[in-house]
């Protein structure tokens, strides 16, 4: 192998400044959490991974439009609802 110069101490300078912020929030979508709490969590940059317990359409109706209006995404995957904030795409290529 040939020699190459790699300076890891300065590599940080070349990283994108758009680091992801927020957490992955695990929860249960059963109607016990007010829709506004889900919207606020996503607005803060969190990704929601919610176990669905009941009728998804009924349970998500209180916040789905707000998420879409802020350019977030919602994806029903198996028995879960994944909700991402603007700028965080849900990649379904491998499904």
Cβ burial of 92 (10 Å; 0-12, 13-18, 19+) is: exposed
Domain range spanning residue 39?
21-84
Which pTM was predicted? 0.79
CATH of residue 66: 3.30.110.150
Phi-psi region of 71 (alpha: psi -120 to 50; beta: other; left: phi over 0): left
pLDDT digits (tens, 9 = 90+) for 44-81: 999 999 999 999 999 999 999 999 999 999 999 999 99
Q: Is residue 11 part of a domain?
A: no
Q: Is residue 92 part of a domain?
A: no
């Amino acid at each position: 192998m040939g020699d190459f110069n790699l300076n890891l101490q300065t590599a940080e300078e070349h990283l994108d400044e758009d680091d992801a912020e927020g957490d992955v929030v695990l929860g249960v979508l059963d109607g016990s959490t007010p829709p506004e709490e889900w919207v606020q969590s996503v607005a803060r940059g969190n990704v929601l991974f919610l176990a669905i317990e009941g009728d998804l359409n009924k349970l998500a109706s209180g916040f789905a439009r707000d998420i879409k209006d802020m350019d977030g995404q919602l994806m029903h995957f198996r028995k879960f609802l994944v909700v991402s904030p603007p700028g965080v795409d849900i990649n379904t290529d491998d499904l």
